[in-house]
Amino acid sequence: KGMELVDPIIKNTCSKEDDVLRCEHVALLCVQDRPIDRPTMSDVVMMLGTELSIKQIPEEPAFTIDKSFVENVVTTHARYIYEQNFSPNELTISELTFR
């Protein structure tokens, strides 16, 4: 299932699924909630540059998006668009443009 997360534009450049899974695993380690749990850059370079398996299991990420968050963002954006296009007192505003 790791290949499902890869952008279709770069999917053809990924030679092995193991490499993709390794990159995803390292990425999850880098976004853990507690900074002390995150690997250093030298650790990241080592993990990406070797064929050895990574023993560390990622903890909870620092930021996650759930369905209610997405719905709230969409609702807020729709409200913003509405308020930008219509005035609350139903007056229209005409802008002059020159040819």
The 3 state secondary structure assigned to the chain is: CHHHHCCHHHHCCCCCHHHHHHHHHHHHHHCECCHHHCCCHHHHHHHHHCCCCCCCCCCCECCCCCHHHHHHHHHHHHHHHHHHHCCCCCCCCCCCCCC
Is 55 inside any structural domain? Answer: no
Inside any domain, residue 7: yes
Structural domain contains residue 37: yes
* Domain extent for 33: 2-49
Reported as a single tens digit per residue, the pLDDT across 12-26 is 777 778 888 888 889
The answer to whether residue 19 is domain-embedded is yes
Taking the model in full, what pTM does it have? 0.57
Residue 52: per-residue pLDDT? 81
**What is the total count of domains within the chain?**
1
Q: What is the pLDDT of residues 37-95, one digit of tens each?
A: 999 999 999 998 888 888 888 887 777 666 666 566 666 655 655 555 555 566 666 67
Rounded to 5 degrees, what are φ and ψ at 83? -70, -30
